[in-house]
């Protein structure tokens, strides 16, 4: 089952600004800004394996896969960027509770399941 991210009315602009400021301390501020735009205007989905599909800004309808070890976008694959805008967008959407946790019938095997903290640790070390 794929679940798309939708904006939650309880998320305020101040919540998003505070989260972006927190991430800008550890990540490239330009990437953080682009991640915020993705959270606001692009689709983020969880696939059947528990990885995330993040809609491309340049090619709407095309998705990059964010997984525990990286992302399929050119920034991550060709340049070896440790935290791309797609990975940051997934973390932000999870922290804002815009992406639901797996339900019991969708629960992932422990080897595949990753928490927000695990993803942050993989990105920021």
Which own/partner pairs from 13-21 qualify as long-range (CB within 8 Å, at least 24 positions apart)? 15/96, 16/40, 16/92, 16/96, 19/92, 19/95, 19/96, 20/92
Is the pLDDT higher at 97 or at 79?
97
* Average of per-residue pLDDT values in the chain: 77
Cα–Cα distance measured from residue 86 to residue 67, given in angstroms and rounded to the nearest whole number:
10
- 12-21, 35-44, 50-59, 88-97: the lowest-pLDDT one: 12-21
Poorest-confidence range of 35-39, 75-79, 86-90? 75-79
The whole-number pLDDT of residue 5 equals 47
- Sign, CA dihedral 62-66-72-78, equals positive
Task: Give the pLDDT confidence of 34-46 residue by residue, as tens digits.
Answer: 999 999 899 999 8
Higher local confidence (pLDDT), 84 or 118: 84
Ramachandran sector of residue 43 (left: φ over 0; alpha: ψ -120 to 50; beta: rest): beta
User: Which is more confidently placed, 56 or 109?
Assistant: 56
Locus of tokens 């991430």: 23
């Amino acid at each position: 089952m794929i679940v798309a991210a939708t904006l939650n009315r309880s998320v305020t602009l101040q919540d998003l600004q505070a989260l972006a400021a927190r991430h800008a301390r550890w990540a490239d501020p330009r990437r953080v800004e682009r991640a915020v735009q993705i959270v606001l205007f692009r689709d983020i989905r969880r696939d059947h394996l528990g990885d995330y599909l993040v809609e491309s800004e340049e090619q709407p309808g095309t998705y990059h896969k964010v997984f525990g070890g990286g992302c399929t976008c050119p920034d991550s694959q060709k340049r070896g960027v440790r935290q791309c805008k797609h990975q940051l967008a997934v973390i932000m959407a999870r922290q804002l509770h815009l992406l639901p946790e797996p339900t019991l019938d969708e629960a992932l095997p422990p080897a595949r399941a990753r928490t927000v903290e695990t993803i942050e640790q993989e990105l920021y070390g």
